[in-house]
Structure 1
Amino acid sequence: MAEGSDKLQQQITEDQKRFEFAFDPVPADRRQGWFSLFLVLAGYAIAVSNFVTGAAIGYRMTFFDAMVALVVGDAFLIFVAVSTGIISFESGWSTSFLSRMVFGKKGSTIFSLLLVASSINWIGINGNTFARIVTANFPGIPIPEALLGAAIIMVWSISAMRGYKGLEIVSWIGVPIALILAIVCFVLVGVQNGGYGVILAYTPNPADEMPVVTAVSSIVGSWVFGCLITPDVCRFAKNHTSVVAAGTGAFLLGLFCLQFVGVVVAQVSGMGDFSVATAAIGLGLLVLICTLVCLCTTQDNNIYGAGLAAQNILDATRLKGKVAHRWIALAVTAASALFAACGALQWLLPIIQFLSVLLVPIPAMILAERYFVRHSKFTLEVNPIAMICWLAGGVIGQVCLSTGFSVSAIVAYVFTALLYTGLSLGFDGKISWKRDHESLTETQASDLSLDD
């Protein structure tokens, strides 16, 4: 009897691994140490998009204003990443399943669709960036830019298809290499065109100048999606300290440091396009290698997160538990390759500013639900309060962004958290919610509720 029970448990564990724990909390025996967590998160945050965002901002601002924007924007992003990471550690759930505590089961599929679309966007943009860097440094290369971008994206799927272990292996190799190359790049920039002294005297063209609040919104928009899917990794943590230490260190390293290099490159070269700027000052080949490594450690995480979000969508269909993680990862990769071939990079700044408004309200509601409302919607079909607050937070953020009032992302976050808390405390007990009793067992649902 015991032997049969052991075999059944072993089969259940194998099934969970096949779907990368998309439908279940990560069990204790699969949790990882803080250094493994740090490596995977650092590999994710060490992204070429941070070079690109830093250059785009540095070209349009003085050095001092650019530093203020980086500090404010990155501090907010680290707060979002660590706070949601702690909640995922406590529950063991992925980002998509975690959103059920706010949106309900069917409501969370809308959020999951947004996650998948955002992943495809970022993977496509980064593939397009890589292709641009190659053609800028090797203008005579016979391979079309669209094909180059699509090809590198397909390579990224290899590690993502292997789940957390694949992310860890790539990070062990890529993080040290990327950091060394980034440091070398920064040092070499100092001997170009007057060195670092140029940046202190740099003055942007008045026609191109960007306000600090807009720059912060761009910084938040460039990585709020990355912070939002941090729970997909942090659910493997063993304790709170690991989440705080690994998350803070990894994002400081990957976000601020790489954005800083981007600012310096733009101001020394006088160009806002990171790919063209590095080629113009003779660092094209070095940056090409660094970019390739950064992309490999980052985009597999995006593919991984999109795969988990897709499983949450499939959970409401007959395909639940029938499509393995590796095949979903491959499908996400194919869609991203197609987007890259269409020239995804041309929509970079408009997209990241839009995402800063659309995505920021979601972690605000997750935090408010977990610590202030404490009435998890995990067994509901749809939570209309969450939908109302999401829309209201997005509208407030967009108004702030279009009018230049304060930092749109931070205003939207605080507003949404307060609105969701107030409406939930006022109406949760008065509305007859329609529940989906088949979505989770009562025990599983209580894992995300603090009102027991």
Structure 2
Amino acid sequence: MNNIKPSNEENVEFAFGEVPQHKRKNLFSLILVLAGYPIALSNFVIGGTVGVGLKFTDAILALTIGNLVLISIVILTGIAAYKTGLSTSLLSKRAFGKSGSYIFSSLLALSAITWVALNGDIFSRLVIQTFDWWPLSVPLTAIVAILLWLQSAVRGYKGLEIISGVGVPAALILSFYGVYKVGQSSGGFEGVLSYIPASPIAFSTATAAIVGGWIFGATITPDVCRYANKKSHVFIAGIIAFILGCFGLQFAGVLIAISTGQGDFALAMASLGLVLVAFFASVFCLWTTQDNNIYGASLAIQNIIQDTKYKGKIKHKHIAVAIASIAAILAAGGIYSNILPIITFLSVLIPPVPGIIIAQEFFVKKQQAELMVNQKAMISWLVGSVLGYISLQAGFFIPAVIGVVSAGLCYILINTLTGQQNSQNVETKTEQDAKTIPY
């Protein structure tokens, strides 16, 4: 049998163009990989925070609203990715222009590296808390964890598919086993419906945490959805993946938090004697999420070097290794204590981008990839970021939603107004030319 080497485009994970039809994946594969991303430890934490801060019915309403927003973004950007076969970074190029998309790609890479490093730090602390015999320090454990996550990311979509095939069912089974055990414990879920929070949080704060916590994840799902075979697969996979991953795990977090009085999933499970269940659930939840972050960051970096002499010369796996290495260094350096300003910065700048991409693909349509910088998109991005920041500071509504919607609407409005102006200019010029034509 002849060994067929992957093409150069495959070596860079189709980072410079569309995924060809013969490389598209079936629905089951799409669901697995897409679900692997939101099946994350942070969703337990978000659910726990919402659970201890709201009445049960209000918590479920907040989860429903927040996840409907996320699923809408996943489906709309996913359809754009399916139609074009392009990654998140290349979709941004169609709206922002070449140089404009480099800024967004840099933010994507920075955000992904930040989350990988942060979760490496958190996981290393969990390991040491769980196993008192563990010989490695927090920094060294974080490095080991990130190198493990790299093993699937470095293999591209196929690697994500393999680890999701194992990690998604394992994480779900372990997580909901924990919920079942809570229900079987003394008291169980009897007091859930009558629960009154001791330190209530605002409903807007809860929905902001749900949407804000996963807006970045929803933004980069086109990296997976571009492998879809049919438009309907994007709908089905997006809905199932985020109901299982985001809503499902957040719902579990709500139940466990209310029943045990602990907003922290790991502490709640420990109080029930389920330390190992919590630990292994965390292993799979983190792995299926962080390999996606490394993968998405690699595609973003490829977009930045696309117009340089290095286009196609640096393989996906080499960039993935570099990204994981940077994240490992940051984790070992204790990024946990310095992360808040970075997360706040990114939470303001990233949400407007999917709004502009959606507006570009469904309303404006005329792609701007040949421009160096599309000023209309940059202005819209600025407007969305400023309004999102004001919303965040004022505690008004959901900052991420404000950023998405305002940027998208602004982009449509500017293109509509400038389009009408251009049409008027063309008509005026035509009338002037007609006057000069001799009869």
The two structures have a TM-score, normalised by structure 1, of 0.88
Larger deviation, residues 264-273 vs 162-171: 264-273
The aligned amino acid for 2:94 is M
Runs of 4+ in 1 over 6 A off after TM superposition: 10-13, 347-350
**SS of residue matched to 2:197:** coil
Q: Does 1:285 align with 2:266?
A: no
Shift of residue 349, structure 1, vs aligned partner:
7.0
Give the alignment partner of residue 349 of structure 2, picking from 358, 376, 387: 358
Matched-pair contact (CA < 8 Å) for 1:266–1:277: yes
Q: Does 1:396 align with 2:396?
A: no
* Aligned-partner Cα distance in 2 for 1:266–1:281: 12
Q: Does 1:214 align with 2:205?
A: yes
RMSD: 2.2
Q: Does 1:57 align with 2:25?
A: no
Q: Does 1:138 align with 2:131?
A: yes
**SS of residue matched to 1:277:** helix
The aligned amino acid for 1:115 is L
Give the alignment partner of residue 39 of structure 1, picking from 24, 32, 41: 32
* Aligned-partner Cα distance in 1 for 2:169–2:281: 11
Residues 218 and 355 of structure 1: CA distance in aligned 2, closer, same or farther (over 3 Å): farther
C-alpha distance after superposition, 1:314-358 (max 9, x if no partner): 113332222110000011111112222244445677765654432
**SS of residue matched to 2:373:** coil
Q: Which residue number corresponds to residue 73 of structure 2? A: 80
Q: Which residue number corresponds to residue 26 of structure 1? A: 19
Give the alignment partner of residue 316 of structure 2, picking from 325, 334, 345: 325
The structure number with the bigger radius of gyration is 2
Shift of residue 141, structure 1, vs aligned partner:
3.0
Q: Does 1:240 align with 2:240?
A: no
Q: Does 1:334 align with 2:334?
A: no
Give the alignment partner of residue 96 of structure 1, picking from 89, 98, 108: 89
* Aligned-partner Cα distance in 1 for 2:385–2:195: 35
C-alpha distance after superposition, 1:281-309 (max 9, x if no partner): 32211010111112222211111110000
Residues 196 and 295 of structure 1: CA distance in aligned 2, closer, same or farther (over 3 Å): same
Shift of residue 11, structure 1, vs aligned partner:
10
Give the alignment partner of residue 381 of structure 1, picking from 366, 372, 375: 372
The aligned amino acid for 2:12 is F
* Aligned-partner Cα distance in 2 for 1:70–1:353: 22
Shift of residue 33, structure 1, vs aligned partner:
0.8
Matched-pair contact (CA < 8 Å) for 1:193–1:269: no
* Aligned-partner Cα distance in 1 for 2:339–2:70: 19
**SS of residue matched to 1:197:** coil
Give the alignment partner of residue 248 of structure 2, picking from 254, 257, 281: 257
- In the alignment of these two chains, the number of paired residues is 420
Shift of residue 404, structure 1, vs aligned partner:
2.2
The aligned amino acid for 1:362 is V
Residue ranges of structure 1 left out of the alignment (5+ in a row): 1-9, 432-452
C-alpha distance after superposition, 1:95-121 (max 9, x if no partner): 101101111011100000000011012
The aligned amino acid for 2:15 is A
C-alpha distance after superposition, 1:373-424 (max 9, x if no partner): 1221111100112111111111111212222222222222222111110112
Matched-pair contact (CA < 8 Å) for 1:360–1:413: yes
Give the alignment partner of residue 171 of structure 1, picking from 152, 156, 164: 164
Residues 284 and 318 of structure 1: CA distance in aligned 2, closer, same or farther (over 3 Å): same
Q: Which residue number corresponds to residue 229 of structure 1? A: 220
* Aligned-partner Cα distance in 1 for 2:129–2:267: 6
Q: Does 1:187 align with 2:180?
A: yes
The two structures have a TM-score, normalised by structure 2, of 0.90
* Aligned-partner Cα distance in 1 for 2:172–2:405: 34
Matched-pair contact (CA < 8 Å) for 1:218–1:349: no
Matched-pair contact (CA < 8 Å) for 1:153–1:333: yes
Give the alignment partner of residue 119 of structure 2, picking from 97, 111, 126: 126
Q: Does 1:151 align with 2:144?
A: yes
**SS of residue matched to 1:116:** helix
* Aligned-partner Cα distance in 2 for 1:129–1:204: 27
* Aligned-partner Cα distance in 1 for 2:90–2:402: 26
Residues 239 and 254 of structure 1: CA distance in aligned 2, closer, same or farther (over 3 Å): same
The aligned amino acid for 2:385 is G
C-alpha distance after superposition, 1:167-197 (max 9, x if no partner): 1111112222112111211101113352112
Identity %: 45
The aligned amino acid for 2:402 is V
Q: Which residue number corresponds to residue 191 of structure 2? A: 198
Shift of residue 429, structure 1, vs aligned partner:
7.9
Matched-pair contact (CA < 8 Å) for 1:218–1:353: no
Residue ranges of structure 2 left out of the alignment (5+ in a row): 423-439
* Aligned-partner Cα distance in 2 for 1:359–1:289: 31
Q: Does 1:309 align with 2:300?
A: yes
Give the alignment partner of residue 422 of structure 1, picking from 406, 413, 423: 413
